[in-house]
Structure 1
């Protein structure tokens, strides 16, 4: 049974959530953080000091609606992962972080020291069901952590690569020795580069002491003038929809849309490559499904 004055939530005991005090704490904490503190551009027409609600939500990898409801004292009970994301986004001290968890009525857990690499089963099921679309899951450093068979046929067999640096898309984009293979036949894309660097910038903000991230940034700065310029420029832009022509070595040019969807609370993105039904690009993807299946069957 739960202890007196407590409730059982998601399998563990939590205390009472003080919605009004939590809302006040979030608003005051948000007002103290400037865009520059978290690597965001200042922009124009800021009516209030500090970050905007949507910026906190983006940095915490939660929905704007969820965060807004918490600030308005009408939100549902936030999970430890959501609270950890908010604490990082607002640059809370250890004492402030403990206060955040206390007001939320949640037992504080040790925060992850680095990017989340475990993919939820629901996300894996989603990309597996996308039979006519190529889909990958990337973590906050742009490392591929899951993919479906069509993505392997379109891009490459990620299972044949080392799980670390070789599966990192941003490292491949800037450091691969072969310029053609570097971009999976898509050619250089400034929009992709700025988006990828922006995700990496957010990861460094969330995990400032993570050695892997420090080493990755140092390697990219030292090995790529293009990355170094972007990193120093402080450009920040995330495009959730792009259109690219992929020049595949077996089926030729494929005009594809790709959309980037955020997995709430996981700091991961699902990248989905699609084509209009019955278009030449769609038929090329269907052919790739067959080619990929034949290649995997021949290799087993």
Structure 2
């Protein structure tokens, strides 16, 4: 048994005992019984309510090296009334790959996150979820990307991948698509592993494969990468090409979402971003107050 496993087992035992102690028989519709010395539920009650053997649950709570399936851990999590972060913590301690439920993929951002990306202007900022749905943008991002990404059936959200694979190359804002798009598809696949079989994801993959034979070809290659910093070249009809560095930042409380910030790579790009901002202020003197996905 490795050192990490040896450390996780006592943590698992302590975590389960503490969660069991806070759930009363009344919470789960059981009579309190007589001579109850245990705060909360007894081990045998947790086992019964979870549909597992008393010995198995006892060994789990004792931190013994036993195997646990996601289905059994979910049953225990329901009995102990674990919230989503606690459920994920249980999985990590039990060394079982954690699969967030379909509700785990965020579809909107709060006012605080929107305020953060707005404050980053003149840096370009956008919030994506794992499927590259656009959840929020700031004005600088909208300055550069003139064409709003197409909405995806079933989500109602604009999606960057759908846009980049279906726009004609001549008006696509991303230069060097032959390099960048395969990396984006490989990044998408690294997230897809957590959502295999979910209808919205399967419909998205199927729909984009039908709309873009190139996407279908790249998807079939099964390449996988994780998000990371990149230098990308974009084009704008008013100012031409500019090189930007992208950096992803995670967002607390928003699983599988990231703020992507684009920073000018050189003085030429910095000057062009400033020109786009001036152009916006001339065209829209009301200061672009409405939040628009783009």
Whether 1:226 and 2:214 are equivalent positions in the alignment is yes
In the TM superposition, what are the counterparts of 1:250-269 in structure 2 within 5 Å? 250-264=238-252, 265-269=254-258
Residue 228 (structure 2) aligns with: 240
Structure 1 vs Structure 2 CA RMSD: 3.8
Counterpart selection for 2:82 from 106, 109, 114 = 106
Compare 227-236 and 137-146 and name the one that shifted more: 227-236
Residue 176 (structure 2) aligns with: 187
SS of 1:297 mapped into structure 2: coil
Superposed CA offset, 1:174-228 (max 9, x none): 222x11233x1423142x3244323432443333343222111112222323222
Structure number with bigger Rg: 2
Residue 161 (structure 2) aligns with: 170
SS of 2:284 mapped into structure 1: helix
* Structure 1 runs not aligned, ≥5 long: 8-14, 30-91
SS of 2:255 mapped into structure 1: coil
Superposed CA offset, 1:204-254 (max 9, x none): 333334322211111222232322222122110124111122121111121
Superposed CA offset, 1:117-159 (max 9, x none): 121333222211102200011111101110000000011364x
Cα distance in 2, alignment partners of residues 22 and 226 from structure 1: 50
Determine if contact 1:194/1:237 at 8 Å carries over to the other structure.
no
Residue 262 (structure 2) aligns with: 273
TM-score by length of structure 1 reads 0.60
Residue 95 (structure 1) aligns with: 72
Determine if contact 2:189/2:223 at 8 Å carries over to the other structure.
no
Cα distance in 1, alignment partners of residues 218 and 174 from structure 2: 22
Residue 273 (structure 2) aligns with: 285
For residues 26 and 218 of structure 1, do their structure 2 counterparts lie closer, same or farther at Cα, with a shift above 3 Å needed? farther
* Structure 1 runs, 4 residues or longer, greater than 6 Å off: none
Cα distance in 1, alignment partners of residues 151 and 182 from structure 2: 25
For residues 238 and 205 of structure 1, do their structure 2 counterparts lie closer, same or farther at Cα, with a shift above 3 Å needed? closer
Residue 130 (structure 2) aligns with: 140
Determine if contact 1:140/1:267 at 8 Å carries over to the other structure.
yes
**Displacement, 1:111?**
4.0
Count of residues paired in the alignment = 220
Determine if contact 2:150/2:159 at 8 Å carries over to the other structure.
no
SS of 2:121 mapped into structure 1: coil
TM-score by length of structure 2 reads 0.62
